[in-house]
Amino acid sequence: MNVVNAVAPIRVCDIGGWTDTWFAGFGAVFHIAVYPYVEVQIREISGELSADSSGDATDKRVEIVAESFGDRFTINPEKITYDHHPLLQAAIDVMEIPESARLKINIYSEAPPGASTGTSAAVSVALLGALDRLTGGSKTKHELASLAHSLETEKLGLQSGIQDQICSAYGGINFLEMPSFPKANVTPVQVSDPIWWELEQRLAVVYLGTPHSSSDLHQMVIADLGENAVEDPRLEEMRKLARLAREAVLGGDFVSLGEIMARNTEQQRLLHPDLVCEKAAEIMEVSSDFGVLGVKVNGAGGDGGSLTLLCDGDRAKKRNLLTALEQRDFKVLPILLARRGLRVW
């Protein structure tokens, strides 16, 4: 029995997000890949698949177990109907699975769905990477990131920037420039071990408790930007902040990085006030009492998702902050910086 495993990290602290979109025209983004990662395991099995929740497994030779949703279903790769977890079905649709193969695919992540940490992108990258290995392919991580992005935009017709898929594929700390959508030049931000370790212990990610839909938020912002989005000063400021974030991290200047995170969040608020919701504002208010250097609304922002916090280096103070936030029913997501991106074996 053949078994293929794949893991891919999620994304936080995306400075310059929103400029990696088709309507921005060109962009620059700084972001950080972190664990917990998405896990995918594919097993080739013999015999019949068990029936899915509908009681039907006829002519369906791929079983998908979406553990995080407590869901299981079977599909026929030759007849994709996009009626159940469309992103997963789209990944099966674009890969040429041998007609003789019968597969059981398990997908799991500790990151909550809709946490605005690029979890769906990590699922796509990990699943496509595993399927590529299973079918004898040799796609590069950049090709897999591009293919994962096309699942959302071309197959499903959703709004999506390009950075999340790149972060999951490459891992580490990255600075990417988008000369034109959806092309990307990716430069790893190489730092010393002490800077890496210090950044890791200063960061915290807090989940607001409710998921969000980034595609819906994109539609709202696109309407507000109008026809001259490329020249919009708010997007230009975000491009500049991405470059400044890269320089701050390279120099181990955490005070500057915190200021940049706060400025980027304010630019998101200027794009549309609904991008920084009341719960996010509450976390910022509590954080200010504990010397937090900066807060970044992850991803597109909006009513739900998560925030990245950059603390001042006092570990006891950080623990007290996280306890205070948990007492207000916010969920702290344990993270570690991910030196590597997609791994397949």
Q: How many residues does the chain have?
A: 345
Measured CA to CA, the distance from residue 231 to residue 234 in angstroms comes to 9
What is the rounded average pLDDT for all residues in the chain? 92
What confidence score (pLDDT) does residue 320 get? Answer: 98
What confidence score (pLDDT) does residue 214 get? Answer: 62
Per the model's pLDDT, the better-predicted residue between 51 and 96 turns out to be 96
Residue extents of the structural domains in the chain: 3-187+340-344, 192-335
Please tell me whether residue 116 adopts helix, strand or coil conformation.
Answer: coil
Residue 263, pLDDT > 60, answer yes
Task: Give the tens place of pLDDT for each residue, 125-156.
Answer: 999 999 999 988 889 999 999 999 999 999 99
With cut-offs at 50, 70 and 90, classify the pLDDT of residue 250.
very high
Residue 53, pLDDT > 60, answer no
Q: Let me know: does 16 contact 264? Beta carbons within 8 Å.
A: yes
Residue 51, pLDDT > 60, answer no
What confidence score (pLDDT) does residue 242 get? Answer: 98
How confident is the model over 172-176, as a mean pLDDT?
A: 98
Residue 55, pLDDT > 60, answer no
- Which fold, 3-187+340-344? Ribosomal Protein S5; domain 2 (3.30.230)
How confident is the model over 60-75, as a mean pLDDT?
A: 92
Question: Which of 27-31, 268-272, 297-301 has the largest mean confidence?
Answer: 27-31
Using CA atoms, how far residue 162 sits from 28, 212, 283, 324, 328, in Å, is: 11, 18, 28, 35, 34
Residue 240 token pair: 């500049």
Using CA atoms, how far residue 54 sits from 51, 57, 200, in Å, is: 7, 9, 45
With cut-offs at 50, 70 and 90, classify the pLDDT of residue 88.
very high
CA nearest to 200, candidates 243, 162, 252: 252
Non-local (6+) Cβ contacts of 23 within 8 A are 222, 225, 229, 230
CATH of 192-335, one of 3.50.50.60, 2.60.120.200, 3.30.70.890, 3.30.450.20: 3.30.70.890
Q: Let me know: does 92 contact 135? Beta carbons within 8 Å.
A: no
Residue 55 token pair: 């009681």
With cut-offs at 50, 70 and 90, classify the pLDDT of residue 45.
confident
